[in-house]
């Protein structure tokens, strides 16, 4: 395969290097990471007995590659506590438990009676034939305005920190798109899939959502990045920020911000889209411009640790999300010490709130004091917690989660077409085909196979 240079030491770059070495232990692979640590948006921080996830807090156990990789690097995955299956939406002044079944949906106070009836009317809504539609357009059309505002809008914030008025339904939630295309609607599709499940005896969850149980590790998601880093060892070069790429015969020259450069037979850009765009600007300006169209809002994660005795409300659940119609300044709060063990010292709880996102990026970049005031007030209003937190940590992401806005699939098609003209140059990462850890690892596995095949 020759020398393989991987630009980016997040989970995509690390897992790609691992899978390539698995196929050829003698392969010359170098991972270049601009920061002084690996992991990218996997950012586990341990302090004063609290375990904070500054970024990704887990993965779903319904897809095999992450679980397989964990086993290969001698890690024991940890499923979230059963109590965290309960999730809440803050609406009209109080927390509402999300319905988990049709009967509980019909009796839920989250939606008004007209709102619930409008959701049931989804059965008779005609199929849409448009290839592209925003998540908001889809939700209002099929489920009604109230369900969109109280259910779909906060879901988009929780997953993407995004604005459903601009997110592409098909790019972000392809299973939902397929239910309408294949079965004529969500409810019709779920009924038919449920019947097929009973016939086959399958235990897989049926529904438009991703399914699976949130899973991490006892010492946080950083365990996975750390295990891969240890295995890759000296193949990882920290503090190397790639700034440009050039084709040199059958190989590539990679130039770094410190003035150094390296030649490589294969080049993989596994860094965020804005970084990939910069690196490719001199070599292919059109490709660079298309990649630069993928936006990244800012997001801050604010962790508060409290003594249990100062918490009046129950923390039996995953946490809550806040619809944008509520005009609050947080996207939601996760009750981390209820989701996984080892997140807070004995006698304490850990809450993790999100600020910013596509609708309020500027808010995420406020100073620590301002973010503290914002989150403290919101938690006081929503959860009636008046005590001062005894532990505070703020994690900022000026460029957080890539947004798959309308036109994303066309961008991917154009990117793929242009890459055909650059043999042995590849792009990977969560900017393209899935933002989660599972997506990144599965895409790395597929890319490793492709690199080996095309280098043979």
Contact criterion met (CB below 8 Å) for 45 and 393: yes
Q: What domains can be seen in the chain, in order of their start residue?
A: 3-39+222-293+405-455 (3.50.50.60), 111-200 (1.10.3110.10), 297-397 (3.90.660.20)
The H or E element that residue 279 is part of is helix 273-280
Place 102 in a pLDDT band, splitting at 50, 70 and 90: confident
Residues 291 and 24: their CA atoms lie apart, in Å, by: 31
pLDDT above 90 for 296: yes
In angstroms, rounded to a whole number, what is the distance separating the alpha carbons of residues 362 and 68?
39
206-230 pLDDT tens trace: 555 567 899 999 999 999 999 999 9
Residue range 354-374: mean pLDDT, rounded: 97
pLDDT at 202 over 70: no
Task: Yes or no: say if 33 and 271 are a contact pair by the CB < 8 Å rule.
Answer: no
Location of structure tokens 């409810």: 187
Would you state the pLDDT for residue 209? 57
DSSP letter, residue 294? S
Asked if the model's pLDDT at residue 340 lies above 70, the reply is yes
Does residue 445 surpass a pLDDT of 60?
yes
Higher pLDDT, 89 or 191: 89
Q: For position 12, what pLDDT does the model report?
A: 98
Nearest to 158 by CA among 354, 352, 296, 318: 354
Residue 207's pLDDT is 53
Span 311-318, mean pLDDT?
A: 93
Q: Give dist(CA 150, CA 157) in Å, integer.
A: 12
β pairing state of 50-53 and 251-256 = unpaired
Give the list of residues 6+ apart from residue 86 with CB closer than 8 angstroms, or none: 97, 98, 316, 317, 318
Q: Looking at residue 193, what is its pLDDT? A: 87
Provide the pLDDT for residue 210. Answer: 61
For the beta carbon of residue 118, count every other beta carbon within 10 angstroms. 18
Predicted pLDDT at 99: 86
State the average pLDDT for the chain: 94
Does residue 269 contact residue 276 with C-beta atoms inside 8 Å?
yes
* pLDDT per residue as tens digits for the range 391-441: 999 999 999 999 999 999 999 999 999 999 999 999 999 999 999 999 999
Q: What is the pLDDT of residue 101?
A: 76
């Amino acid at each position: 395969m020759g020398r393989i240079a991987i630009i980016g030491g997040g989970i995509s770059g690390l897992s790609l290097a691992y899978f390539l070495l698995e196929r050829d232990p003698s392969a010359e692979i170098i991972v270049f990471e601009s920061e002084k640590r690996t992991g990218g948006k996997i950012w586990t921080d341990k302090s004063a007995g609290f375990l904070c996830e500054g970024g990704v807090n887990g993965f779903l156990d319904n897809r095999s590659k992450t679980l397989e990789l964990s086993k290969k690097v001698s890690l024991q995955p940890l499923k979230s506590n059963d109590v965290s299956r309960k999730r809440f939406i803050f609406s009209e002044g109080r927390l509402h438990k999300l319905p988990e079944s049709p009967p509980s949906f019909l009796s839920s106070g989250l939606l008004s009676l007209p709102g619930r009836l409008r959701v049931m009317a989804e059965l008779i809504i005609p199929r849409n034939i448009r290839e592209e539609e925003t998540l908001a357009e889809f939700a209002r059309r099929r489920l009604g305005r109230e369900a969109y505002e109280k259910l779909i809008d906060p879901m988009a914030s929780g997953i993407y920190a995004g604005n459903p008025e601009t997110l592409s339904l098909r790019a972000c939630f392809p299973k939902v798109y397929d239910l309408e295309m294949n079965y004529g609607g969500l409810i019709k599709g779920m009924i038919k899939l449920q019947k097929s499940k009973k016939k086959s005896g399958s235990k897989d969850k049926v529904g438009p959502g991703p399914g699976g149980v949130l899973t991490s590790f006892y010492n946080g998601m950083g365990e996975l990045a750390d295990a891969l880093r240890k295995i890759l060892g000296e193949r990882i070069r920290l503090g190397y920020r790639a700034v440009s790429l050039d084709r040199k015969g059958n190989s590539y020259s990679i130039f770094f911000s410190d003035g150094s450069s390296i030649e490589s037979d294969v080049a993989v850009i596994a860094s965020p889209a804005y970084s990939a765009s910069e690196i490719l600007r001199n070599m292919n300006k059109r490709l660079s411009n298309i990649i630069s169209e993928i936006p990244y809002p800012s997001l801050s994660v604010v962790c508060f640790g409290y003594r249990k005795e100062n918490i009046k409300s129950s923390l039996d659940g995953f946490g809550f999300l806040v619809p944008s119609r509520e005009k609050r300044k947080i996207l939601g709060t996760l009750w981390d010490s209820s989701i996984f063990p080892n997140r807070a010292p004995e006698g304490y709880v850990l809450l993790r709130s999100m600020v910013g996102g596509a609708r309020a990026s500027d808010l995420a970049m406020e100073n620590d004091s301002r973010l503290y005031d914002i989150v403290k007030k919101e938690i006081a209003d929503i959860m009636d917690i008046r005590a001062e937190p005894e532990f505070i940590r703020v994690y900022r992401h000026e460029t957080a989660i890539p947004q798959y806005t309308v036109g994303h699939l066309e961008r991917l098609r154009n990117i793929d077409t242009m890459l055909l003209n650059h043999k042995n140059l590849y792009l990977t990462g969560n900017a393209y085909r899935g933002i989660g850890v599972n997506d990144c690892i599965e895409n790395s596995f597929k890319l490793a196979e492709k690199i080996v095949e095309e280098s043979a």
